[in-house]
Amino acid sequence: MSLVNGHLFDKYGPRWLVIPGFILGLTSVLVFSKISTTTHGLTIIVFYTLLMVGMSMITTPSQTNGLNQLERGNYPDGTAIVNTTIQTSGAIGTPIAVSILNRSQNAFLAQVNNPQNATAQIGALVQGIQHAYNFAIIVAIIGLICSLFIKRVLVTQLTLKKFPQ
C-alpha cells in the first residue's frame, strides 16, 4: 500500500489520504467494539484488513509531510524523532488498552455467580475487548480531528513553501 499511497500523496497531498485513512480505521474500530462470541471470523478478517489499509493511508503521508517541513540536513534527526514517537506511543497505548481489558474482565467476573465457568470467562473476555476498543475509538476520533488541520508542504531545493489546500 505504501507505493500506492506515495503516488497518491504526490498527486493529491496528505489530507486526501490521512482523513479517509482515519475514517476507515475508525469504522473498523467501531465494528471491533461491537464484537461478540457470534461475530463471524470473516468479519474480523475483513475489518482488520480495512484497519491496516487505513493505517497505511495515515502513516506514510503523515510521516512524509512532517519530514518535508525540515531542511534536508535535518532528515535523519526528524526520522529518529518520528520513529521514537511511534515506539513510545505503542509502549504507552498497548498497556493502557490491556489494562482496560483486564479491569473490564475482572469487573464482569465479579458480577457472576461462578467466575470459573467457561461461559463467564468468554463473556468477560468479550466485554474486555469491547471496552479496550472503546479506548481505541477515542484515540481514532482525536486523530481524525487532528487530521483536519494537516497542510501540504512543498519541498524545494532552497526553501520550503506551504501549498494552499
Q: What is the DSSP string of the chain?
A: -HHHHHHHHHHH-SHHHHHHHHHHHHHHHHHHTT--TT--HHHHHHHHHHHHHHHHHHHHHHHHHHHHTS-GGGHHHHHHHHHHHHHHHHHHHHHHHHHHHHHHHHHHHHTSS-TTSHHHHHHHHHHHHHHHHHHHHHHHHHHHHHHTT---EEE-SS-EEEPP-
Query: What is the reported pTM?
Result: 0.84
The domains of the chain, with CATH numbers, are 2-154 (1.20.1250.20)
pLDDT tens-digit readout, 95-150: 999 999 999 999 999 999 999 999 999 999 999 999 999 999 999 999 999 999 99
**What are the CA-CA distances from residue 59 to residues 52, 75, 120, 130, 140 (Å)?**
10, 17, 39, 25, 13
pLDDT tens-digit readout, 46-61: 999 999 999 999 999 9
